[in-house]
Amino acid sequence: MSDSIHDKDAEKRDRMVAEMRQEQQERQAGYREQALKLFPPVCGRCAREFEGKKLRELTVHHKDYNHDNNPPDGSNWELLCIYCHEHEHTRDVQEARSQEDAAAGASRPSLQYSPFAALEARLKHSK
């Protein structure tokens, strides 16, 4: 009996997720189409021009990060290529981390890994 309950819960969850994704795609298609009518097909950061099949690489960035704020005049949008759009969101994450570290007075360890960092000490120790 518990398997059937889990199956029904999973089906309900999957259905809800599918509906939410469909709504999101419809909403995005609506403001994307509007933005493409309002603005030239050019990335607002790198200035690459897009046409034909490449047009799908041009995305709508919400300046205030609120995807529900879609004024008809497009004042909350800018067209960015997928690369610049990703960089825009990554940059904000990095800035937020830096501000948190500065406020806490801590330094975040480097993301770089050096496999030879302790090699000299290990070689001396093994002799």
CA 76-85-19 angle, to 5 degrees, is: 75
Amino acid sitting at position 66? N
- Full-model pTM: 0.55
What's the pLDDT score for residue 107? 55
What's the pLDDT score for residue 51? 95
CA 32-72-64 angle, to 5 degrees, is: 75
β-strand partners of 59? 80
User: What are the domain boundaries of the chain?
Assistant: 2-105
What's the pLDDT score for residue 77? 94
Full pLDDT tens readout for the chain, 127 residues? 566 777 888 899 999 999 988 887 776 668 888 999 999 999 999 999 999 999 999 999 999 988 889 898 999 999 999 999 999 888 767 777 777 777 776 555 555 666 666 777 777 776 6
